[in-house]
Amino acid sequence: MRKTSKREFQAPATIKISFQPIAIALSSKNVTGFKRMPLQTIVVGAGLAGLSAAYELVLAGQEVQVFEAQERLGGRVHTVELSAGQYGDLGAEFVDDLHTALMAYAASFGLKLDPACQFPNDLYWYDGGMLKNQESFSAEQRAAQISLFEKLQLLVEKQYDPQRTLDEWLETNELAPFAKWIARLSARSLFATDPELIGIGFFAYYSNTLGASGCNMRVRGGSSRLVDALAKVLGDRVHIKTPVRRIKQTENNLVTVSIETANGLVEASAHNVIVAIPWSVLRQIPIDAPLTNSQQVAIFHLPYGSLVKTLLQYPYRFWSKPNLGITLLDAEYQVMWEPSFAQMGTERILSCFSGGSRSRELSENAVERAIATVRTVYPEAPQILTSRSYDWSADEWAKGAYCYFRPGDLARFDPHLTQRAGQIFFAGEHTAPVEYRGYMEGAIRSGHRAAQQVLESLK
């Protein structure tokens, strides 16, 4: 949903690799064999960051082993099946038209991208019992929105990261109530956090989102198709149900990771380790490595937003326009849209998104509350056929949705996010260039960068 600035990305060179069936490829066995020989590179985590790092290293002729804690690959990419052959994404879904690294992968794996929304017209605000988009804003609302964007843009141009939260900044700037309302709503709905927590500097980087032009897309079949494609190439280099419990750099410049397996803890050593897991999880793993103080502070303190995503499948479309667009609303859920727009069948799915402290109040009633939220806007909504809901803060291996930055932390942490610590390299959405953080694009780009760092270290 957020719009990003343009950076060109080169498609990876096409190299012929024989594909293995995925069922054979994924293994949690044979891990004990790693005890004896130092590996070239170990990747911790098989989300898009870890998988793309491993993929790029394999393309470059390197030997890689990937250890993934869960039985399922993809981490915060998680496509699920619903009834009538339809599907939805409980994690990442939208691909912006500037997400060129992801688009290059999709093209090279033969994956199709379906259109999702056109901006700004498909972006709606539910305000005072009415759905409004930019065309139906009053003159005052339009002026308020423009004034907000101009003030945010000024911060971006000055590369300024003040010691203020979004909320504090809104209160000390002369902004109309409507401008404050859309800014606060955006913090919850797009950044999965509260306006009292997010730094204004980080928020400002995405200021052009709210009224941006352009379009976004979805991977046909769901975002997990991209994960499947990468995993298929990597084959039996990927090991599931193998959480890494400790990382230690030894005196001979090898890195040893302790891996939990069905047969107990196993140690594997490698010349390089790419750690591609969220720092919300990493800070609970002992790391014995030459980390700088700043790196330790960033790993320990980088916050992650809270997010509940609920999919509701309905027997038919009950809204008038073919594409529901993206609706922002100030309720228990703050965004809803239709992921089934380009899918076959008469059944329709609505995706409901609740971020920040409000998501933590949903607890076990997440589905009922999503249904109630939809009925606030569409009282005629019929009974649902089926539903799926996921609370990302409760996910043991994510512990949150995606990273955000508190006041001043963008400037403080940025130089340290991509820094290696001895033979340990870092990948993951949180280590991507700022405009791609919180995106699949960021995860992929971070994987490319970490792979490149490893290759350069070998020269």
- φ/ψ of 10, rounded to 5, equals -85, 135
Q: Give the nearer residue to ligand FAD in terms of CB position, either 49 or 144.
A: 49
Among 43, 49, 331, 410, binds ligand FAD (CB under 6 A): 49
With DSSP H G I counted as helix, E B as strand and the rest as coil, what are the percentages for the chain, rounded to 5? 35, 25, 40
Task: State in angstroms the smallest separation of the CB of 89 from ligand FAD.
Answer: 7
Stretch that binds ligand FAD, among 34-42, 341-349, 356-364, 441-449 (CB under 6 A): 441-449
Among 69, 82, 328, 352, binds ligand FAD (CB under 6 A): 69
d(CA 432, CA 438): 9
Instruction: Pick out residues in 82-111 that bind ligand FAD (CB under 6 A).
Output: 91-94
Q: Give the nearer residue to ligand FAD in terms of CB position, either 349 or 443.
A: 443
Q: How many residues does the chain have?
A: 459
Residues 166, 183: contact at Cβ < 8 Å? Answer: yes
Question: Is the Cα torsion angle 327, 74, 394, 285 positive or negative in sign?
Answer: negative
CA atoms within 13 Å, Cβ hemisphere of 254: 12
The pair of structure tokens assigned to 354 is 């609740």
List the Cα angle 5/132/351 in 5-degree steps.
Answer: 70
Q: Give the nearer residue to ligand FAD in terms of CB position, either 281 or 421.
A: 281
Stretch that binds ligand FAD, among 11-19, 27-35, 66-74, 261-269 (CB under 6 A): 66-74
Task: State in angstroms the smallest separation of the CB of 276 from ligand FAD.
Answer: 5
Q: Is 222 left (phi over 0), alpha (psi -120 to 50) or beta?
A: left
The pair of structure tokens assigned to 411 is 């400037």
Q: Give the nearer residue to ligand FAD in terms of CB position, either 54 or 155.
A: 54
Task: State in angstroms the smallest separation of the CB of 63 from ligand FAD.
Answer: 19
Contacts of residues 260-266 at CB distance under 8 Å and 24 or more positions apart, as own/partner, are 261/28, 261/31, 261/32, 262/28, 263/32, 266/31, 266/32, 266/34, 266/35
The helix-helix angle for 177-191 and 139-157 (nearest 10°) equals 60
Q: Does 339 bind ligand FAD (CB under 6 A)?
A: no
Q: Does 299 bind ligand FAD (CB under 6 A)?
A: no
Question: Which residue's CB comes closest to ligand FAD?
Answer: 47
Q: How many residues make contact with ligand FAD (CB under 6 A)? A: 40
Stretch that binds ligand FAD, among 65-73, 122-130, 131-139, 156-164 (CB under 6 A): 65-73
Judging by beta carbons within 10 Å of its beta carbon (0-12, 13-18, 19+), is residue 434 exposed, middle or buried? middle
Q: Give the nearer residue to ligand FAD in terms of CB position, either 243 or 407.
A: 243
Task: State in angstroms the smallest separation of the CB of 77 from ligand FAD.
Answer: 5
The pair of structure tokens assigned to 218 is 């979805």
Among 281, 362, 374, 421, binds ligand FAD (CB under 6 A): 281
Q: Does 75 bind ligand FAD (CB under 6 A)?
A: yes
Residues 270, 67: contact at Cβ < 8 Å? Answer: no
Three-state secondary-structure class, residue 214 = strand
Q: Does 278 bind ligand FAD (CB under 6 A)?
A: yes
The pair of structure tokens assigned to 211 is 């009224």
Among 34, 125, 206, 392, binds ligand FAD (CB under 6 A): 392
Q: Does 325 bind ligand FAD (CB under 6 A)?
A: no
Task: State in angstroms the smallest separation of the CB of 354 from ligand FAD.
Answer: 10
The pair of structure tokens assigned to 366 is 């997440």
Q: Give the nearer residue to ligand FAD in terms of CB position, either 314 or 392.
A: 392
Question: Which amino acid, one-letter code, is at 299?
Answer: I
Chain Cα centroid distance, residue 389: 17
- Residues lying near ligand FAD in the complex (CB under 6 A) are found at 44-50, 67-70, 75-77, 91-94, 243-244, 276-278, 281, 285, 307, 309, 392, 397-398, 401-402, 428-429, 438-443
